Amino acid sequence: MEKFLKFLKTEAIGGLIIRFSLAGLLLFGGFTKFTLIGAEGYSLQGAILMAGIETISSFCLIYHFRNPLMGIVGGMLALLSVVVRFIFTLYWIRTEVSSINSFFESFNIMTLIFNNGMFHIFLLIGAAVYCIGNSYKTYIAERITKPWPH
């Protein structure tokens, strides 16, 4: 039984690492977008919007420990920001490479050239889905164990 409990503790530590790593990556990405996208000539309003989404998402992911519902919101915002980044990258490849006419061709180029980047995108999507599920599980457990309202 003790071995089983050690595995549960290891899973909990791994979950904390995933949550804090995703929050840190989103926080860093949120703050750096103010200058990077604006400096390259893209929409500054879009950069500010993405920075806001990622910053709010990172704080909501950390606030999960006080309110699991905020963790769910943070995970969904994290998933949204990763998907928007992915679509923006496909759009950038389509517009910057001269012989590409569709998003499917830009996806093929991205998988051929940036396969390491694709791996990271899938890891970020998996981490966001994990955080949503973990926060939802905690939210349901709190709802079940709360005293019945009078």
Q: Where are the domains of the chain?
A: 2-145
Looking at per-residue confidence, does 108 or 71 come out higher?
71
pTM, 2 dp? 0.78
Determine which of 64-73, 84-93, 98-107, 134-143 has the lowest per-residue pLDDT on average.
98-107
**HEC assignment per residue over 71-85:** HHHHHHHHHHHHHHH
DSSP calls for 49-108: HHHHHHHHHHHHHHHTTT-HHHHHHHHHHHHHHHHHHHHHHHHHHHHHSTT--SHHHHHH
Mean pLDDT value of segment 21-34: 75
What are the backbone angles phi and psi of residue 149, rounded to the nearest 5°? -65, 145
